[in-house]
């Protein structure tokens, strides 16, 4: 019971900070999600992800790229999970984060979320606004 009271006291004292963070997360996700979703090819979810290094990229730069890409993906996953209970585009942010990471089972995870939630409809709406072909999902 004391823990519940402590949480309520914290929220009461920091409601403007919590509200500002929520608003900031909403604005950042609204601005960044289209940047990640629109350039993907329409058959992105049908293809198996091939992680090959282009021949012209030096190995240290490729490793740095992978590290930065995965850090951004993990941050987006955490923000997406937070936005499930806070204002923001939680599921779309979560999907973009999963797409960016190189974790085992990522393909099955985002296909599951795409099929069970309105995320695909939202991403296709973003693409339709720019006259980009809509995403296609693989057959079950």
Name the pTM for this structure.
Answer: 0.54
Our CA angle for 127, 23, 13, nearest 5°, is: 160
What range defines the domain where residue 24 resides?
Answer: 2-129
Is residue 137, in this structure, part of any structural domain at all?
no
Per-residue pLDDT of 44-78, as tens digits, reads: 878 766 566 677 778 888 888 889 989 999 998 88
Percent over 90 (pLDDT), the chain = 5
The rounded mean pLDDT for the chain is 80
- Predicted confidence at residue 105, as pLDDT, reads 80
If one counts the domains in the chain, the total is 1
Is residue 135, in this structure, part of any structural domain at all?
no
Angle between helices 59-83 and 90-100 (to 10 degrees): 160
Is residue 90, in this structure, part of any structural domain at all?
yes
Confidence of residue 124 (pLDDT cuts 50, 70, 90): confident
Percent over 70 (pLDDT), the chain = 92
For the chain, the farthest-separated pair of C-alpha atoms sits apart, in whole angstroms, at 60
CA proximity to 106, closest of 73, 133, 140: 73
Q: Which of the residue ranges 3-7, 25-29, 111-115 would you say has the lowest mean pLDDT? A: 3-7
Is residue 119, in this structure, part of any structural domain at all?
yes
Evaluate whether 97 touches 79 at the Cβ level (below 8 Å): yes
- Predicted confidence at residue 51, as pLDDT, reads 61
Is residue 102, in this structure, part of any structural domain at all?
yes
């Amino acid at each position: 019971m004391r823990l519940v009271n402590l949480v309520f006291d914290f929220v009461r004292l920091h409601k403007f900070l919590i509200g500002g963070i929520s608003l900031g997360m909403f604005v950042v996700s609204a601005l960044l999600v289209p940047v990640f979703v629109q350039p993907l090819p329409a058959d992105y979810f049908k293809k198996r992800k091939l992680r090959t290094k282009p021949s012209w990229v030096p190995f240290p730069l490729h490793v740095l790229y992978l590290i930065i890409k995965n850090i951004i993906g993990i941050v987006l996953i955490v923000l997406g999970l937070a936005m499930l209970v806070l204002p923001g585009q939680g599921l779309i942010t979560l999907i973009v984060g999963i797409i960016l990471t190189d974790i085992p089972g990522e393909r099955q995870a985002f296909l599951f979320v795409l099929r069970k939630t309105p995320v695909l409809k939202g991403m296709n709406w973003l693409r339709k606004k720019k006259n980009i072909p809509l995403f296609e999902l693989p057959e079950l």
